[in-house]
Structure 1
Amino acid sequence: MEFRHLRYFLALAEELHFGRAAQRLSISQPPLSLNIQQLEASVGAQLFTRNSRGVQLTAAGQAFVPAARALLAQASDAAREAREVAEGQSGELHIGFAGTMLYCGLPQLLSRFQASHPRLKLVLLELSSSEQLSELVRDRLDVGFVHTPRVPPGFDQVLVVSQPLVACLPQSHPLARADVVGLDQLRGEALVVVSRTVSPDYHARILSECEQAGWLPPAVHELRHWLSVVSLVSQGQGVALVPQALQQSALAGVAFVPLAQADVRYDTRCLWRSGRDQMALKDFVQAVSADFAPAG
């Protein structure tokens, strides 16, 4: 059974006249008759009766009409879905991101992109940089926003955000109202950081900067999320060095003060697999490049 057979069958079922059905299909009567015979052989039942009064549907033919229409509709829907996926207008796009991107323009980008791709499903996953790298390599993510320069082989990247780290201090801290603070001025303070397992590059960078400033924290509190870091600082449990964008979190009880070491920065890269034949991904990367360039 072929889709052609179904189209010919429905045309004849609706016209109940070989001549009119053939004209409607832009074919001659012999090919129409042959295709109906092939369909009946495939179904294993007579679908039409032919006599001097014309053509009539048999009981089997009447039962076959809604099924034939449904099959053709499903085929049409499948073809349309395939075209829309090929054009980047349908399907799914799995996007990983670290939490700070919520304060760096990602929600606005997603809103604009969704408006231009209304039938495309955006699946968002908040993951650490390490988790994103693992998911990207396994093709469980289409694109990720990571805070690491360690780009795996076979992936393209674009720098989307480069922001300074700032000191995050309890509001009661003596330096909370300072215009600028040096890392050496935080000597003796407990340090609150995102854990080594979640963000190994950031963790190593912060401890290295403290060491270069002659500051070895007496205690290091490791948390999984940036907002947890800021929240713990607000309760007076230490100080932190956090991306500047977290000032937008508006959590009470903390102050954000620029660092004297202005070169201590926090970079975010967008990663995706090279040469991926996925129009939705290409459109999204183009939108990212247009929104965030020239980040570097």
Structure 2
Amino acid sequence: MEFRHLKYFVVLAEELHFGRAAKRLAISQPPLSLNIQQLESSLGASLFERNSKSVKLTPAGVAFREVALRLLAEAAEGEERVRQIAKGAGSRVRVGIVGSMLFRGLPERLKAFQKLHPRVEVVLSEGNSSEQVDALLRGQVDLAFVHTERIPRELSRSIYVSEPFLCCLPSSHRQATADSVDLRKLSAEPLVMFSRSASPDYYERVLSLCEEQGFQPAVRHEVRHWLSVVSLVSKEMGIALVPQALSRAGISGVRFLPIGPSKHRSEVFLVWNDRQMPEILPLLMKVLTDEDEGNY
């Protein structure tokens, strides 16, 4: 018994007329009759009572119709499942993020991807850059966003975003209403920093930026999350140099001002392991990096 036999049987069971069933199947009557005979032979039972005037189902045919319909439905479902898997449906992608990605358009990009591939499960996990690199090496995530350039050779990377640093000041600060700030005039201000242990690259980059401006900063507070940095500034605990993305965090009580030209920028890298890539990952990366998706 083949699925072809099931399809021919179901159509004939619905039409109860060989001519109409053959026309619907886009075949001639002899092949239809032959396939029904083959099906009956394989089952060892007559499925139709037929004469020159009518065709009707036998009791065995009535019972088999339910079986045939179920088998055909399961086959169609299986075919669709295979097609969807080939397109990435039903896949799972684990993405490691640093917290600032929430303000760099990542949620909007992921929504766009989920609209295109609604059955793909995207799982986010937050950690600092070194934790994300380790997770990639251990196969715990499939893709990661990191701030560090120190990527092991076995991993691949591409620049995802490069943006300037801004000076984050309390709204009550005397310079808060200016269009930009001269960092040298703020050199004595207590500086709130992203923790050296959490991201040594960011820590060194901010120190280098200050040195570029001609002063050594007075580092007062170190925290492990950028939102904590901005929150401390809003509480008048100091000032901070933060990536431009943080200006979209929506925290009240602060102002973000340009600091003038600098060679030091906040960079985010997209990192993955070519040897451990889910089939859907290239499609996700395309949405994440497609400039036509808009700037967030």
Fold shared per TM-score above 0.5: yes
Judge conservation of contact 1:182–1:260 (CA < 8 Å) in 2: no
Q: Secondary structure at the match of 2:194?
A: strand
2:216 corresponds to: 214
2:181 corresponds to: 180
Shifted more, 253-262 versus 14-23: the winner is: 14-23
Change (3 A) 1:49 1:249: closer
Using the TM superposition, give the Cα deviation of residue 152 of structure 1 relative to its aligned residue in structure 2, in angstroms.
4.3
Change (3 A) 1:252 1:15: closer
Which aligned pairs between 1:47-58 and structure 2 lie closer than 5 A?
Answer: 48=47, 56-58=56-58
Shifted more, 74-83 versus 118-127: the winner is: 118-127
Q: Secondary structure at the match of 2:241?
A: strand
Using the TM superposition, give the Cα deviation of residue 122 of structure 1 relative to its aligned residue in structure 2, in angstroms.
5.9
Aligned partners of 1:254 and 1:277: how far apart in 2?
42
Could you tell me which runs of 5 or more consecutive residues in structure 1 were left unpaired when the two chains were aligned. Answer: none
Structure 1 residues 116-173: Cα deviation after superposition (integer angstroms, max 9, x where no partner)? x264546252523344434444555444333222334454433121112222222334
2:244 corresponds to: 244
Structure 1 residues 72-110: Cα deviation after superposition (integer angstroms, max 9, x where no partner)? 22322332233244345x444634443323333334444
Q: Secondary structure at the match of 1:232?
A: helix
Q: Secondary structure at the match of 1:148?
A: coil
Structure 1 residues 40-80: Cα deviation after superposition (integer angstroms, max 9, x where no partner)? 26xxxx47265768765454543442343233223223322
Which residue of 16, 29, 43 corresponds with 2:33? 29
Aligned partners of 1:160 and 1:108: how far apart in 2?
15
1:102 corresponds to: 102
1:82 corresponds to: 82
Aligned partners of 1:50 and 1:177: how far apart in 2?
93
Aligned partners of 2:21 and 2:292: how far apart in 1?
58
Aligned partners of 2:66 and 2:139: how far apart in 1?
41
CA RMSD of the aligned region, Å? 4.0
Aligned partners of 1:148 and 1:164: how far apart in 2?
16
Amino acid at match of 1:241: L
Aligned partners of 1:31 and 1:240: how far apart in 2?
80
Shifted more, 48-57 versus 68-77: the winner is: 48-57
Change (3 A) 1:149 1:7: same
2:148 corresponds to: 148
Judge conservation of contact 1:11–1:25 (CA < 8 Å) in 2: no
Judge conservation of contact 1:182–1:261 (CA < 8 Å) in 2: no
Aligned partners of 1:79 and 1:159: how far apart in 2?
39
Which aligned pairs between 1:88-237 and structure 2 lie closer than 5 A?
Answer: 90-92=89-91, 94=93, 95-114=95-114, 117=116, 119=118, 121=120, 123=122, 125=124, 127-128=126-127, 129-137=129-137, 139=139, 141-177=141-177, 179-182=180-183, 185-187=186-188, 189-194=190-195, 196-197=197-198, 199-206=199-206, 213-215=215-217, 217=219, 219-223=220-224, 225-237=225-237
Q: Secondary structure at the match of 1:252?
A: coil
The TM-score with structure 1 as length reference comes to: 0.72
Q: Secondary structure at the match of 2:133?
A: helix
Aligned partners of 1:202 and 1:68: how far apart in 2?
65
Change (3 A) 1:31 1:65: closer
Using the TM superposition, give the Cα deviation of residue 245 of structure 1 relative to its aligned residue in structure 2, in angstroms.
1.9
Amino acid at match of 2:202: Y
Judge conservation of contact 1:181–1:258 (CA < 8 Å) in 2: no
Using the TM superposition, give the Cα deviation of residue 17 of structure 1 relative to its aligned residue in structure 2, in angstroms.
6.2
Shifted more, 239-248 versus 148-157: the winner is: 148-157
Could you tell me which runs of 5 or more consecutive residues in structure 2 were left unpaired when the two chains were aligned. Answer: none
The TM-score with structure 2 as length reference comes to: 0.72
Using the TM superposition, give the Cα deviation of residue 267 of structure 1 relative to its aligned residue in structure 2, in angstroms.
0.5
Counting aligned pairs with the same residue, the percent is 37
Aligned partners of 1:30 and 1:277: how far apart in 2?
46
Using the TM superposition, give the Cα deviation of residue 246 of structure 1 relative to its aligned residue in structure 2, in angstroms.
1.2
Change (3 A) 1:166 1:272: same
